[in-house]
């Protein structure tokens, strides 16, 4: 893993002159976290890291923070993307928020990122971590004291367990070899099937239970690379007033429906909404269900083909089956 970090730094250094900023990851506030890094000076490039802790989808910052659609000079933005992240990038290109030419993309085939909450649940005493690495089917965590091994199934993020796109869809430079996805298209929706086994009233009860925990912190929305409304989000605007600030279940339920419906045919399943949820509500599932419907009905997956138009923003007069 060390060498990939090095390659990453080297690749950016090669082209750094042409870049305005590089988006990557750097070590976070403790040894089990990485954090997004915005590098504007070549000397800082050595801060960059790549390891299974680099969870964040950096595309989230493109529109909301960097306002990447407006470029002053011809300098590009350097960005690191995992497979899932690259789909968000493509989706943003599809929706014309950004243009491909604006970016220097370093793609990293990814075997999964670590859900530290699950890790800590298994091994609450984990500290002084020095190195985290994926070796085959196991996560290797080296601490000052000893080396732990965990089966990947137990410690990866949910999104990674169902990942079909471990390899970046677009990139200018690829670090490492492409990976074979360990899940087929047929298993991609295994997690939502679990809910569909419930009866209709049980499903409602399930969601009532889950969504009632929501504290309306909007972290899910803020972390979503495709939620680009910023201050204009209708969850908070007064005119039109779609939602009140009442903290009751109806409002929470409706808020999550707004988020999901706004992402129908657009969500790239990066799972950030769920990863950042402090209440651990499985909100990605809602979007995945919509994705499944859109795929079956309209044969479309977001963030795959930069030329394609999101299907709910277009139509086909000759369409059969609807």
219 lies in the site for another protein, by CB under 8 A: no
124 lies in the site for another protein, by CB under 8 A: no
Q: Which residue among 124, 136, 184, 240 contacts another protein (CB under 8 A)?
A: 240
Tokens 């490492």 locate to 176
185 lies in the site for another protein, by CB under 8 A: no
319 lies in the site for another protein, by CB under 8 A: yes
Q: How many CB atoms lie within 10 A of CB 208?
A: 12
**Region of 32-40, 162-170, 180-188, 242-250 interacting with another protein (CB under 8 A):** 242-250
Q: According to DSSP H, which parts of the chain are helical?
A: 2-15, 60-64, 83-94, 116-122, 152-155, 158-161, 190-196, 200-212, 219-223, 249-263, 272-275, 284-298
**Region of 73-81, 103-111, 128-136, 305-313 interacting with another protein (CB under 8 A):** 305-313
**Region of 52-60, 101-109, 136-144, 189-197 interacting with another protein (CB under 8 A):** 189-197
Looking at the Cβ atoms of 17 and 316, the one nearer to another protein is 316
Q: Which residue among 239, 245, 299, 307 contacts another protein (CB under 8 A)?
A: 239
**Region of 36-44, 45-53, 124-132, 227-235 interacting with another protein (CB under 8 A):** 227-235
Give the C-alpha distances (Å, rounded to integers) separating 233 from 9, 10, 25, 120, 257: 37, 39, 28, 34, 13
Q: Which residues contact residue 268 at a Cβ distance below 8 angstroms, ignoring those fewer than 6 apart?
A: 84, 87, 88, 90, 91, 225, 226, 302, 303
Q: Write the interaction track for another protein spanning residues 77-96; mark x where CB under 8 A is met and - where it is not.
A: ------------------xx
Measured distance CA(120)–CA(118) in Å, rounded: 5
Token pair listed for 98: 């950004």
Size of the site for another protein (CB under 8 A): 69
Measured distance CA(300)–CA(322) in Å, rounded: 15
Q: At what angle do helices 249-263 and 200-212 cross, to 10 degrees?
A: 100
174 lies in the site for another protein, by CB under 8 A: no
**Region of 27-35, 129-137, 179-187, 195-203 interacting with another protein (CB under 8 A):** 195-203
Q: Which of 13, 35, 15 is CA-nearest to residue 24?
A: 35
Q: Write the interaction track for another protein spanning residues 4-43; mark x where CB under 8 A is met and - where it is not.
A: ----------------------------------------
Q: Which of 210, 194, 189, 203 is CA-nearest to residue 289?
A: 189
Cis peptide leading into 258, omega within 30 of 0? Answer: no
**Region of 10-18, 33-41, 129-137, 276-284 interacting with another protein (CB under 8 A):** 276-284
Measured distance CA(213)–CA(142) in Å, rounded: 35
Looking at the Cβ atoms of 50 and 207, the one nearer to another protein is 207
> Residue 33: helix, strand or coil by DSSP?
coil
210 lies in the site for another protein, by CB under 8 A: yes
Q: Which residue among 13, 120, 217, 313 contacts another protein (CB under 8 A)?
A: 313
| CA quadruple 201, 205, 207, 208: dihedral sign | positive
> Residue 130: helix, strand or coil by DSSP?
strand
97 lies in the site for another protein, by CB under 8 A: yes
Token pair listed for 42: 């070549």
At its nearest, how many Å lie between another protein and the CB of residue 116?
A: 14
Applying CB under 8 A, the residues found at the interface with another protein are 69-70, 95-97, 118, 121, 158, 192, 195-196, 200-210, 212-213, 228-230, 232-234, 237, 239-242, 248-250, 253-254, 257-258, 261-262, 264-265, 279-282, 285-286, 289-290, 293-294, 297-298, 309, 311-319, 322
């Amino acid at each position: 893993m060390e060498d990939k970090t090095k390659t990453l730094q080297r690749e950016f250094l090669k082209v750094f002159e042409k870049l305005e900023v590089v988006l990557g990851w750097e070590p976070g506030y403790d040894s089990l976290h990485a954090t997004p890094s915005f590098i504007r000076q070549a000397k800082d490039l050595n801060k960059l890291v790549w390891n299974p802790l680099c969870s964040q989808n950096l595309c989230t910052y493109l529109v909301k923070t960097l306002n990447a659609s407006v470029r002053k000079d011809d300098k590009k933005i350097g960005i690191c993307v995992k497979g899932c992240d690259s789909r968000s990038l493509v989706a943003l290109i599809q929706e014309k928020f950004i243009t491909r030419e604006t970016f220097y993309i370093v793609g990293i085939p990814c075997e999964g990122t670590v859900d530290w909450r699950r890790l800590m649940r298994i091994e609450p005493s984990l500290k002084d971590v020095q190195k985290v690495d994926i070796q085959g089917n196991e996560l290797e965590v080296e601490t000052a004291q000893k080396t732990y091994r965990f089966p990947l199934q137990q410690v990866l993020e949910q999104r990674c367990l169902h990942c079909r796109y471990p390899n970046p869809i677009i990139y200018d430079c690829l670090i490492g070899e492409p990976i074979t996805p360990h899940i087929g298209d047929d298993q991609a929706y295994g997690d939502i099937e679990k809910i569909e086994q419930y009866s209709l009233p049980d499903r409602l009860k399930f969601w009532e239970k889950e969504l009632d925990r929501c504290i309306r912190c909007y972290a899910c929305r803020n972390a979503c690379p495709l939620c680009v409304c910023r201050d204009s989000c209708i969850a908070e605007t007064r005119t039109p007033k779609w939602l009140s600030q009442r903290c009751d279940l109806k409002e929470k339920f409706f808020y999550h429906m707004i988020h999901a419906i706004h992402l129908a045919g657009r969500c790239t399943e990066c799972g950030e909404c769920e990863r950042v949820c402090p209440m651990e509500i499985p909100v990605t599932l809602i979007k995945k269900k919509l994705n499944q419907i859109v795929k079956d009905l309209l044969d479309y997956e977001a963030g795959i083909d930069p030329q394609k138009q999101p299907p709910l923003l277009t139509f086909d007069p000759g369409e059969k089956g609807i």
